[in-house]
Amino acid sequence: MVPLRASETRLDGRQTYDYRKIKITFGTDYGCCFVDLGKTRVMAQVSCELVAPKENRPNEGIMFFNIELSPMASPAFEQGRQSELSVKLNRQLERCLRNSKCIDTESLCVVSGEKVWQIRVDVHMLNHDGNLMDAASIAAITALCHFRRPDVGIQGDEVTVYSPEERDPIPLSIYHMPISVSFSFFQQGTYLLVDPCEREERVMDGLLMIAMNKHREICSIQSSGGIMLLKDQVMRCSKIASVKVSEITELISKALDNDKKARKAGGRCGFAESIPQERITALKMDETPVEMMDVTDRANDIVQKAEAPPQTVPSPVVPAPGVGQVGQGLQNTWGLEEQEESDNSGEEQEEIKTQMKEKKDENRGGDVVEISDSEEEEVVILHPEAPDKLPKNTGSGSHQKGAATTKKRQKK
């Protein structure tokens, strides 16, 4: 396993063991944490409720973790269905936080066998630029440290949950802070990188995730990909992880202290700097004095002094031949006379019918075109051909044809 040389920097200019910039902010409520790992952005929200305990553990509270990969973070994520990546991240987060016993679950018991606190951690991916597991673990443990549960009073069989105004909320009992550190391997383990970005994750051969606390205790370890790691490689990664975990734990402690001081002083802290407490963000504008005297007279003066609007909007005239305009009252530029448009008018049709009837009366036996009002076609009556004028070679079929044409179709 060979680290990159000083001249061989990564795509974003980092060295082999460099982490991206980590930024931790908090929301207005307790248990809301935002973590920026480079361009990867994650939000964690902790909530609690009183539920019945598990039968096999009546004196312990319940921890529940959920990671949501929304399409807002990356187009590769689908809404409403769990992918292989989300299942892997959920299991790794459970191993990192719940199986490592970092939280005292017995302190979450209210009434043995009846009421315990269920702590739910929801992690939302807001933007995906690689190394989601490290960002999720930092956001989850920081949100748990920042969270405060309501105080509870027990009198006989009655359980009273006090509001934050009545009693101060109580923080969770956390023993240690496990943090995941990811290592990516290239060329079958020849090269090693810490905190891979999204472009590096596409081409890596394998990934090793080590969850460790600042006491150098390994909480969980998971390898994925098609590579086999040696003992020396895992030991080297664990040494690197111990240094990174110490730095990140110190950063989390400073962020929690700053937020605690800001809340104690009554000032805005973290993400709440841009959002007022219990108010929707809005722009405040000074009132503009408006004089309401003689409004009608002023309006009439303005209307009289104003120019009259044009009655019709001039339409463009296209002088080029073969170009048409659509609209009422526009000039015809198709090169056709307007008389052709009135050829099919009702009056002309009546005149045609009258002329045809007159011709029918004059030429009783001549060629007549009869226009009927019924739905039948026009019937053309031909003059029957005389037998002496027929050609000599004409057969009986032609006689039948001439006779058929002399018959007039009757109206139905």
Angle at which helix 231-265 crosses helix 132-146, to 10 degrees, equals 40
- Quote the pLDDT of residue 133: 92
When comparing pLDDT for 349 and 296, which is higher?
Answer: 296
Strands (E), 202-322: 206-212, 218-225
Residue pLDDT, tens place only, 243-256? 999 999 999 999 99
pLDDT of residue 9 exceeding 80: no
When comparing pLDDT for 362 and 44, which is higher?
Answer: 44
Residue pLDDT, tens place only, 357-410? 666 565 555 444 444 454 445 555 555 555 554 444 444 444 444 444 444 444
Give the β-pairing of 62-69 and 115-127.
parallel
Classify burial at 335, counting beta carbons within 10 Å of its beta carbon; exposed 0-12, middle 13-18, buried 19 or more: exposed
| Domains delineated in the chain | 22-271 (3.30.230.70)
Q: What is the C-alpha separation between 199 and 412, in angstroms, rounded? A: 83
Average of per-residue pLDDT values in the chain: 77
- Quote the pLDDT of residue 281: 47
- Quote the pLDDT of residue 310: 66
- Quote the pLDDT of residue 267: 64
Rounded to 10 degrees, what is the CA torsion of 68, 73, 78, 81?
Answer: 0
Q: Mean pLDDT, to the nearest integer, of 104-123?
A: 90
Of 124, 250, 212, 354, which Cα lies nearest the Cα of 258? 250
When comparing pLDDT for 272 and 257, which is higher?
Answer: 257
Residue pLDDT, tens place only, 52-101? 988 888 899 999 999 988 888 888 888 777 788 888 889 989 888 888 88
- Quote the pLDDT of residue 335: 52
| Cβ atoms 126, 44 nearer than 8 A | no
- Quote the pLDDT of residue 240: 92
Which among 5-14, 177-186, 357-366, 368-377 has the top mean pLDDT?
A: 177-186
pLDDT of residue 241 exceeding 70: yes
- Quote the pLDDT of residue 345: 55
- Quote the pLDDT of residue 277: 46
pLDDT of residue 323 exceeding 90: no
- In a 3-state reduction of DSSP, which class is residue 87? helix
In percent, the amount of the chain with pLDDT more than 90 equals: 25
Which DSSP category does 292 fall into?
-
- Per mean pLDDT, which range of 34-43, 135-144, 303-312 is the poorest? 303-312
Classify burial at 13, counting beta carbons within 10 Å of its beta carbon; exposed 0-12, middle 13-18, buried 19 or more: exposed
- Quote the pLDDT of residue 334: 53
Q: pLDDT grade, residue 228 (50/70/90)? A: confident
> From the centroid of its chain, how far is CA 106?
41
Q: Enumerate the H helices of 216-294 as residue ranges.
A: 231-265
- Quote the pLDDT of residue 409: 44
Q: What is the C-alpha separation between 96 and 217, in angstroms, rounded? A: 12
- Quote the pLDDT of residue 385: 54
- Bridge partner residues of 295 (DSSP): none
- Quote the pLDDT of residue 6: 45
pLDDT of residue 122 exceeding 90: yes
- Quote the pLDDT of residue 73: 86
Q: What is the C-alpha separation between 222 and 93, in angstroms, rounded? A: 11
> From the centroid of its chain, how far is CA 217?
41
- Quote the pLDDT of residue 76: 83
- Per mean pLDDT, which range of 14-18, 43-47, 120-124, 290-294 is the poorest? 290-294
When comparing pLDDT for 233 and 276, which is higher?
Answer: 233
pLDDT of residue 4 exceeding 60: no
Q: pLDDT grade, residue 24 (50/70/90)? A: very high
Widest CA span of the chain, in angstroms? 132
User: Phi/psi zone of residue 313: left (φ > 0), alpha (ψ -120 to 50 degrees), beta?
Assistant: beta
The b-or-e profile of 75-110 (16+ CB within 10 A means b, else e) is: eebeeeeeeeebebbbebbbbbbbebebbebeebbb
Entry field: residues in the chain: 412
- Quote the pLDDT of residue 1: 52
The residues, ordered by sequence, that sit 6+ positions from 315 with a Cβ below 8 Å of its Cβ are: 325, 327, 329, 330
